[in-house]
Amino acid sequence: MKIIDNPVALQQELLTLKKKGKSIGFVPTMGNLHAGHLSLVQLIKKQSDIVVCSIFVNPAQFGENEDLASYPRTLSEDIQKLEALGIDYLFTPTDNQIYPHGKNKHSSVELNRLTEHLCGSSRPDHFKGVTTVVCILFNIVQPDVAAFGKKDYQQYQVIKAMTRDLMMPIKIIGGEIVRESNGLAMSSRNTYLSKAEKEKASTLRQTILSTAEQIKSGTSLEKTIENAINNLKRHGFKIDYFKVVRQNDLQEAQQTDKSLLIACAAWLGQPRLIDNLELNLN
């Protein structure tokens, strides 16, 4: 595995490989790698000749009062995990290499739909930061295919929409959510949870599963959402949102919609946890 921090050097190497007919697969991450990230690498390995992974804690997607400074950084462990998977390139740029004039003076990419609600409501500039950095990374790597986890379902849809809107010839594939044994979706931010909180956090998954059962048995969406919010509050969660939306456009679902996403964000102690479930009714 080659580790490269210089964007132009990586771009040149990958362009040479592309000219030789090699397909490029890409997995962007912020590091602190866990089985969720590694599952995306495995997915991409099956779809491309050359596998590129990036580790960049993107300052532009963190809000003023968020955890940019304390975000877990574990580069040497991450390198070992990626070496073991046999990927070809790891890209580890610095902030200055991505935003030479600072993130606020840098040109940005913004989607005019899908980004205002759900996570966008409590994190106003988050998706602008995500689309900007992913666009920069795509221009450096020029992948044929890139993988994003469905744990961040809104991000996955936002990236798909960006590639469509901007005519980027990149196939976006979604990886299923990888979970801890108690059902908690794996996340770098789980390291902020105490042992007791980690156990309690499984309630999020259980509540979403119970919501799915209630919807299947015909309970109104309004009532199931109310039940879920009450249950999570009882277990000590502070709710950001608990919604049932349509999978494709993430707009609030009506009782007659069939392709649903149950999506939730809630704080348990310090970290804000997110989770979701795709529910397809026949």
Q: Which residues are catalytic?
A: 37
3-class DSSP assignment, residue 272:
strand
Q: Does 175 bind ligand AMP (CB under 6 A)?
A: yes
User: Exactly one of 38, 43, 172, 186 binds ligand AMP (CB under 6 A); which one?
Assistant: 186
Q: Does 93 bind ligand AMP (CB under 6 A)?
A: no
Among 132-140, 185-193, 249-257, 272-280, which window interacts with ligand AMP (CB under 6 A)?
185-193
Q: Does 177 bind ligand AMP (CB under 6 A)?
A: yes
Q: Does 143 bind ligand AMP (CB under 6 A)?
A: no
Q: Does 61 bind ligand AMP (CB under 6 A)?
A: no
Contacts of 144 (CB under 8 A, 6+ apart): 23, 24, 25, 48, 169, 170, 171
Label residue 117 exposed, middle or buried (CB < 10 Å: 0-12, 13-18, 19+): middle
What φ, ψ does residue 47 adopt, rounded to 5°?
-110, -5
Closest approach of ligand AMP to the CB of residue 220, in Å: 31
78 and 84 in contact (C-beta within 8 Å)? no
Binding mask 23-42 for ligand AMP (x = CB under 6 A): ------xx-----xx-xx--
Q: Does 148 bind ligand AMP (CB under 6 A)?
A: yes
Closest approach of ligand AMP to the CB of residue 217, in Å: 28
Q: Shortest CA distance to 54 belongs to which of 85, 83, 80, 90? A: 90
Type of residue at 25: G
Q: In what order do the strands lie in the sheet with 171-175?
A: 2-4, 89-91, 50-55, 24-29, 145-149, 171-175
Residues that bind ligand AMP (CB under 6 A): 29-30, 36-37, 39-40, 148-149, 151-152, 175, 177-178, 185-188
